[in-house]
Chain A
């Protein structure tokens, strides 16, 4: 089954404790991206990757890191989480050309992160 898988789905952590949210897709997609969803602000793009070893900042990259060493994985790293990073996070993927040809971005189920 074609899917984007995020882990963990729920996490409560404390300020400053490094964490990684994993994202994996099984569709051989070139394009992957991360978003955070906050009430009243919609979804805001954190980082995106057009292909392996190619990443770029979205609108709200501060406090986050990403890497794209393999096509299928695009982990989101919070080196020193703070309470303002409490949010619902979504990973998504698409064929690079497909994003423009069909517009279909395949989303993961979301990861709800709470930083105390």
Chain B
């Protein structure tokens, strides 16, 4: 069985601070895919990134960056110079690459509050 753990239930920062959201996963599959989604206060779910298990390159997109480390089964998400608009619930998720690749598992979510 697969599992995704986001140990940080809530994080509170002041605008312009950097913040890292942790994600640790468990899976028996050698091929899998990891995702991050954002849920702003309005409630919709917004796709942020997808990463293959065989591609450990870090990724940067504007103020967002992702650090994928297979050795520690982690896929952490950093927001640089946070802004109030970054306030949201962030979910990490995993999907196996094998025969049950439709089975998507989310973490519990991290509530991020950015204060002005």
Q: Give me the interface of A with B, judged by CB distance under 8 Å.
A: 31, 33, 35, 40-45, 48-50, 56, 58-59, 90, 92, 96, 99-100, 102-105, 107, 109-110
Q: Do A33 and B104 touch across chains, with their CB atoms under 8 A apart?
A: yes
Task: Name B's interface SS.
Answer: loop
- Given A40-B108, A42-B109, A110-B43, do A103 and B103 touch, yes or no (CB 8 Å)? no
Chain A residue at minimum C-beta to C-beta distance from B31: A100
The count of chain B contact residues (Cβ–Cβ below 8 Å) is 25
Q: Do B103 and A42 touch across chains, with their CB atoms under 8 A apart?
A: no
Q: Do A58 and B103 touch across chains, with their CB atoms under 8 A apart?
A: yes
Type the 1/0 row for B92-116, where 1 means its CB is closer than 8 Å to any CB of A: 0101010011111111110000000
B66 in the interface (beta carbon within 8 A) = no
Q: Do A109 and B44 touch across chains, with their CB atoms under 8 A apart?
A: yes
- Closest-CB distance, B42 to chain A (whole angstroms): 9
User: Which of B7-51 touch A at CB < 8 Å?
Assistant: 9, 33, 35, 37, 43-45, 47, 49-50
- Closest-CB distance, A13 to chain B (whole angstroms): 21
Q: Do A105 and B107 touch across chains, with their CB atoms under 8 A apart?
A: no
- Closest-CB distance, A41 to chain B (whole angstroms): 6
Q: Do A48 and B108 touch across chains, with their CB atoms under 8 A apart?
A: no
